[in-house]
Amino acid sequence: MATTNLERRKIGALEVSLIGLGCNNFGWRIDAEESARVVETALDCGINLFDTADMYDKGRSEEYLGRARRLFGRRPGARRSREWSEFRTVGTPRCRPL
């Protein structure tokens, strides 16, 4: 694991890395295996803020991020920022459970 002095900021009670990882390419441009490598590298570099949305590749981005977190274990302080959109297919729930 790399040693890092990555700057942190408070968002309310949460302390997150100043740099976050946008996960919109998970599923669209990179597969689950490559997504896991990206997440592992980000965690090793001290990034603990991961931004995803249910509309990124129809939820695949969130699925791949969840798989990667299970693969590498939950690390203390890792946080997920989640967006959602009103643009849905009929019958699709607005928000999915974590």
Instruction: Give me the catalytic one of 17, 43, 52, 56.
Output: 56
The amino acid at residue 29 is: R
Annotated catalytic residue 56:
yes
Strand runs (DSSP E) across 14-93, as ranges?
14-17, 21-22, 49-53, 79-83
Residues annotated catalytic, as ranges: 56
